[in-house]
Structure 1
Amino acid sequence: MRTEDDSWDIVSSVGATALGVAALRAGESRRTDALFHDPYAELLVSAVGSASWTRLSQGDVGRIDQSTVRSYGVLGDLLVARTCYFDDYLEAAAAAGLRQIIIVAAGLDARAYRLDWPAGTTVFELDQPKVLQFKAAALADRKPAADRREVPVDLRDDWPAALRGNGFDPAVPTAWLVEGLLRYLPADAQDRLLTHIAALSAPGSRVAINTTPGQLSPTMQEQEDGRDRLLATLDIDLDVDALWYPAEGRSDPVHWFTEQGWTVVRADPAAVLTDRGRDVPEEVAAEMRDHLLMTATRGDSTP
């Protein structure tokens, strides 16, 4: 990921992307027709002490002009869709008897706290040490609903060894979650990550992933325009697209896992919302269908 542990900052660079996800989840949770409720998201945003981020997390976006709404509306819809999709994925894995959950680059994800985990479930959270430190401090008086184990490690280092050192058992079927990560990794690092996941997955394991295809990468001008609008309307300086690595040479996760013998199922983000009663304009739905939500399951044998 494009960050260094000793320079990580919750309100800038990759740290701010995690904060943005939490803010949008908090905003969705405040809606009267919310599709999920994440009471921890607003706590995490408030812990930053930023009026701008708190305003966003509380849904106070009245100063945003219509051009900004159009620019970021699809992003918000995608985030809600993927949150619902991954919540369902993890709940289904738990219902199927999987008790070993791994959230890669966990950021400010609060699923270890907010989902209804069966007894005996362990949730491993992998991320930069300072990310996990910030979250632990912000939620210090809250009790997770599972055995939550922090794995403070840079994904460029030997994270499988760090995972084993925290009690992970590769002989046990595992549910992996890789949310909002792949485009922040170089192509070769993405393939290494997928290779490690496959190698550590016993038969019956599952992995859920989202990513944005290369053809949707914004132009430099589009990046600058989006950053300027967010800065002008909410006083938040965040350029997510600039943190992405190029799509060239990047494996398609659907093809990658299929070639490894896993069974892959794709999902339409727009359908995730409409199936829950959320109205999605057709022009937004068309753009959302170009984004990937997928689950792969390893059978009894994998090449």
Structure 2
Amino acid sequence: MVQPVAPQGVGQTAIAVARFRAAETRRPDRLFADPLAEQFVAAAPPIRRGAGGRGAGWRGLLRYLRPGNLAHYRAMPHFIAVRTRFFDDFVRTAAQTCDQVVILAAGLDTRAFRLDLPDRTRVFEIDLPEVLAFKQGVVAREGTKPAAGRTQVPIDLREDWPSALVEAGFQPGRPTAWTAEGLLVYLTEADCEQLIGRISGLSAPGSRLALGHQDRSTVARQKANPLAGAAQTLYKSGLSERPDVWLGRHGWQATARRAADYGADYGRPLNADVGQGWLVTAERP
């Protein structure tokens, strides 16, 4: 069988998240189990850090080990674990009343394979063609079958993805559960406005939405860090208002909590460095 080709650019962030999910799956106190994550990691080449101080010899290593940076990198696996569990819980609950689930910027998401969803559920995964091709290559090689109906929609979210989604079988008149996990920071504020407008236009009453959000000040601080990781260097923008207020302007009834609050719920405390991110649920009345 042909070796799957790992995605590059922003697609590399999906590999990084898979590494965190694979590590969490090996923990005896894991918040979720994602067996495919290990296979994605094994199929991808090691991430090589660039020059300019990031991983450049022992001097670069010493800079990474500064207390503030070390705390951040030690905290990230816990944040990803909490975030993943949050979206798992959302999808399980939302699928009881929404028979369509749309995963925006799906990356290496495996919820169609590992969550116990109703038989009627149809999961649509939207992401860049190269990301979904890599994912499907690994899934096919492993012979893993989805537990729910699953359709891939290979397209850039900055293009006309609503038309592609409808062509793939999505029915706008039916309640839908939407997820936008780790997505908004890679879009400009104008792109975010366009995204939520399109989601809203496709959402029948009773639809639900979950998303992650960072304050603009947090994004700016992370981008300014000279030792920012590959993901942070690709950040575009945070939002300039609270996410529940932002969604309210677009006709959604939203509840926003800090990631640290969910970490406390799950017994996985998050420090202030990563715990200030928002995790949001909303419903279309």
Normalised-by-shorter TM-score class: 0.7 to 0.9
**C-alpha displacement at 1:49, in angstroms?**
4.2
- Cα distance between partner residues in 2 of 1:158 and 1:148: 20
Coordinate RMSD, CA, aligned:
2.3
1:272 aligns with 2:273: no
Structural mapping, 1:1-303, within 5 Å: 10=6, 12-50=8-46, 67=67, 68-95=69-96, 97-140=97-140, 141-216=143-218, 217-218=220-221, 222=225, 224-227=226-229, 239-247=230-238, 252-278=242-268, 280=269, 284=271, 286-299=272-285
Gaps of 5+ in 1: 1-8, 54-63, 228-238
The answer to whether the Cα contact below 8 Å between 2:243 and 2:256 also exists between their aligned partners in 1 is no
**C-alpha displacement at 1:277, in angstroms?**
2.5
After superposition, the Cα gap between the structure-2 partners of 1:72 and 1:241, relative to the gap in structure 1 and judged at 3 Å, is same
* 1:261-288 CA-partner distances (Å, limit 9, x unpaired): 321111232232222223x26xx1x344
SS of 1:20's partner is helix
The answer to whether the Cα contact below 8 Å between 1:84 and 1:272 also exists between their aligned partners in 2 is no
Calculate the TM-score normalised by the size of structure 1: 0.80
Gaps of 5+ in 2: 50-63
**C-alpha displacement at 1:104, in angstroms?**
0.4
Runs of at least 4 residues off by over 6 Å = none
**C-alpha displacement at 1:51, in angstroms?**
8.7
- Cα distance between partner residues in 2 of 1:195 and 1:159: 12
- Cα distance between partner residues in 2 of 1:115 and 1:11: 25
- Cα distance between partner residues in 2 of 1:51 and 1:196: 34
After superposition, the Cα gap between the structure-2 partners of 1:43 and 1:244, relative to the gap in structure 1 and judged at 3 Å, is same
Query: What is residue 58 of structure 1 aligned with on the other side?
Result: none
The answer to whether the Cα contact below 8 Å between 2:122 and 2:149 also exists between their aligned partners in 1 is yes
After superposition, the Cα gap between the structure-2 partners of 1:65 and 1:23, relative to the gap in structure 1 and judged at 3 Å, is same
Between 1:77-86 and 1:44-53, the stretch displaced more is 44-53
Sequence identity (%): 40
* 1:101-149 CA-partner distances (Å, limit 9, x unpaired): 0000101111111111110110000011111110000010110111110
SS of 1:240's partner is helix
- Cα distance between partner residues in 2 of 1:169 and 1:295: 22
